[in-house]
Structures are given as structure tokens and as C-alpha cells.
Homo-oligomer: A and B are copies of this chain.
Amino acid sequence: MSSSGGPKDPILLKSSMTKKPHRAAAPMIAVDRGSEKPLHRQIYDAFRAMILDRRLESGQQIPSTRALADELGISRIPVLDAYAQLLAEGYIESRSGAGTFVKRSLSDQFPSVRPTARSVLSHPGNEAISRLARLLPVERTPWFPSSGAFSVGQIAYDHFPFRVWSDLVTRHVRKVRVSSMNYADPMGSKEFREVIAVYLRTARAVRCDASQIMIVSGSQHALDLSARVLLESDIPVWIEEPGYELLRHTLLLSGCRLVPVPVDSEGLDVAAGMSLCRIARAAFVTPSHQYPLGATMSAARRLQLLEWAHRHNAWIVEDDYDSEYRYESMPVASMQGLDPGLRVIYIGTFSKTLFPSLRLGYIVIPPPLIAHFLAVRRANDLFPSHLYQAALADFIEAGHFTRHIRKTRQLYAERRNALAQALRKEFGSEIEILGAEAGMHLVVTLPPGHSDQKIAARAAQDGLWLWPLSTAYNGPSVRQGFILGFGGTRAADMLHQVRRLRKAIRESGNDA
């Protein structure tokens, strides 16, 4: 057989596993019969180097001498010699009946010789990464990620219908089919997309069919793919001010120019946007429940934004991340459904209605853009995993999804009420409450003189996770406050948690 060649140097041999235990994965050993260095020395050197730079870990099993000799196709004698030397020098140890192991606690006795970050960091070339990637903040702030009382994005985990869900997943994982293991459509599973299309047409008044729906891993993924299809360097894009912080990161990676457009009680101020920058490539909005302040975009503003988009060939990216939860009126129809001209990209997620680690969401794509979304998605991560799509399609079809939303809508309404009452009781008119009509968070604003980030950093030390409102602003004009998630906190616990919040704020006041 013709060959395209191989390495010209000592062949790197991989010893096979001994029959038991299977846990001892096979180390890479280089042996070269033509070398002047004797075989036992080659084996000794190889093991010593692997142990010293911790490719073999303290306590890890190594093959028996017989197994290694068989594998390397050499006599057992040089292997016995090498092991004897390693034993004598304290690199390995025998345990009778169990086998041979890298000596435990060896890692404390000598420093790792693995290269340190210094060798690159001290190098003038360490800046050789993307200018755009460098724009993203790299520190983790104390309030991200978190899972405490007011953490944003938390759900009522203990009310999720686990039994039903795990039965569905189990049923699908036991179905052995090539089509569910193979590479698949970058748009997602056909059955799942059909089910989502019916749901969106009916419950969210979205105009769509399954061919327009792409399954993604959540609204962040949907925003990122949309940005990559639509945007590019130096193109102006409208965003809400204040808005969703991680949307800004995604947009920064595209190199576009952010135009923060203020929001008021009717949502995005379209007239303000036009006076700031009349022509933009796109507007990223949350019309059902503005993030974070909570306004519902009025019909007049919706029509105004659609008209702007049509006039200037701009795209509207509608992030409908939590509209299933609305308390004081019934759910508001999607903006996408009002658009006669295919300018709206509609985004939704199951992170809030089911649970975040599901990693399932969707994009409703205007038909002329489908091929471009497909190409970008393929370049990003090929296609979505099968199992959860199949299970969730059944979960929705069988009515569990609407039942769960109905149940949790009432639950979150109770939690919302308890939080609002506790805030009124503890703070009176000292703070303002915004956006409590929908979703799983509300916003409280702080009186002048407080720094929300300072309070949050301090509160985090006491295990109280507060998301500062100021981080939602892009520009210099910033309101201080907190975005308080209430989805994961029981109504009965709310007063206690609000008292902790009050204590954190008071203590900060004493500092000032």
C-alpha cells in the first residue's frame, strides 16, 4: 500500500493496558533499538520525565513489567532494570497484589518543571491575540455566577417535574438509532422544530414555520449567531440603555459600534435612537420585558421601530427571554408577529421556563437569512446535540410544558409579591421598585450616594449575591441599584433575605 510517510525519528510506542485494572491508561514510551542509549535507560528516562513533569500523577498505576515488555516487543530484563532503578530512587512503589504505582506525595518533594505562564507573559509577543477579544472583561466579578437568594436567572428547581422529565430522557437514551447518534442538521431536529413552531404561533403570536427555526443552546448563543450573521466592524448598532451585559460582549466581538439608546416606561425610545444615530444595521431589543428595567414596549413604539427598520433596511433582534411569566396582565404578543416584512429575528430560550443547564433555545429566522445562519452555525459548532431535543419535543407535545408554565407562573407571582411586600416593609419609599410585572427579577434603585458595586462586593463576602444595576449601563449616566432575581427564593424566606439586603446597604451608608 502506498503511504504518505511517518515520523523519521524514534517511534513513539504506546503500551497497551494490562488486562486489569482498566484504569491504568497507557503511557507513551519512546524506545529506539538503534540508539546508543541502552533500552533500560531509555525506559527509565521516559518514566522519570513523565513523573517529574507530572504527566504521570502521584499515585497513578503504571503497567506491570511483563505487560510493558510485551507491548514494546522487547525482553523483560531491561524493563525490570528500569523499574528497579525507579524504585530505588523513590519515583515508583510496589504494592503487593495491587501492582506498581507512581509514588504518592511525590508531588510535594520537587517542583513541577511544567512551563509557567511567565515564559509567555514576559514575552513581548504575548499581546498577539485578537484586538476584539481583548475588549471583553476577563475578571470574574463577585456576583457572577452565583446561586443565592437574589441571584438572577434562578428558577424554582424543586418545582420542576423531574419524574416526568427523567422518564422522557431515559426513554430516548435507550432508543438505539444511527440517526440520533450521527452528524445532523445544523438547524436542529425536525420534530422538535415543528413542536416549537406550533407553540410560538399559538402562544406567542409569532409568524413562522419549522423551516425558519434553528435550535441553539440558549438566548446567548442566539444573540451571538445573529451578531455574526448581521454585523461587522464599525457598523452602528442600537442597544438598550441600560441593557443585557453579555449582549454587549457579543457585539464587541463583532467589532460593531454600539449606540446605547435610552429606555423609558414604554421601552426603547425610538426617537432618541434616531437622533443619536439615524442609520444603524440593527436594533437589539427586549420588547416583552425590557432587561433589566422591565418595561413592556408599547404598541406605538413597536410600530415606530418596525417602520424605522423598514425604512433603513435595519434588522430587529427581539430577545423574548422570559415573556412566559407575566403577572398583572396576560402575556404580550411578540413583536415579530406584527412585522409584515421579515425584518425581525426572534429569539427564545428554555433556560427560564425549564432549567439553565438544558442549553436549549431557538431563533426564528427570516427566510432570506436562513442559508447565512446555517453557514455561520456550521462554522461555529456544526449542530446541536440530539437527546434533549427529542425529550423536550415529547415534553411539550404531551402538554407538560404548558402545565409547568401555568404552575410556575402562579408560584413566581407569589414570590414576586412576597419580595415586593418585604421591600416596601423594610425600605418604605427609600427605594423604587421597577419591572415587577413580568419575568423572574425586579429592579430596586438606591438613593443617591450609594455605590451598588461596592455594596455587592461586600455582600458577597457574607454570601449574599447582588447584581449591581450599574453594570447594565454602557454609557456614563448610570443609576445605582440591584437586579434582584426572585425565581429561586421561597416566599416565606423573602423577608429574611430583604433584611440582609437592608443590612448590606445600611453598612455601606455608614462607610460613606
Contact = CB atoms under 8 A, between A and B. Distances in A.
Nearest to A128: B313
A26 B203 CA distance: 6
A367 to B, nearest CB: 4
Interface in A438-456: none
Q: Top 7 A-B pairs ranked by shortest CB distance?
A: A125-B313, A22-B399, A5-B265, A138-B371, A136-B375, A9-B299, A221-B381
5 contacts: A1-B424, A2-B432, A28-B205, A169-B170, A216-B381
A414 interface: no
B201 A181 contact: no
Given A296-B5, A313-B123, A375-B136, A358 B331 contact: no
Contacts of A9: 298-300
Interface string A1-35: 11111111101111011000111011110100000
Contacts of A437: 3-4, 6
A367 B115 CA distance: 10
Contacts of A84: none
A184 B154 CA distance: 12
A442 to B, nearest CB: 9
A253 B55 contact: no
Interface stretch (A227-235, A460-468, A472-480): A227-235
Interface string A268-297: 000000000000010000000010011111
Q: How many copies does the complex hold?
A: 2
Interface stretch (A88-96, A384-392, A489-497, A503-511): A384-392
A423 to B, nearest CB: 9
Given A218-B382, A356-B183, A8 B376 contact: no
Interface residues of A, number: 172
Interface in A196-228: 198-199, 201-207, 209, 216-218, 220-221, 224, 228
Contact of A201 (B23, B56, B124, B137): B56
A53 interface: yes
A233 B233 contact: yes
B379 A136 contact: yes
Interface stretch (A37-45, A74-82, A172-180): A172-180
A217 B138 contact: no
Nearest to A294: B4
B181 A356 contact: yes
A255 B30 CA distance: 41
A411 interface: no
A431 B73 CA distance: 35
Interface string A110-138: 00001111011101111011111110111
Contacts of A434: 2-4
Given A138-B371, A313-B126, A299 B230 contact: no
B435 A4 contact: yes
Contacts of A266: 5, 8
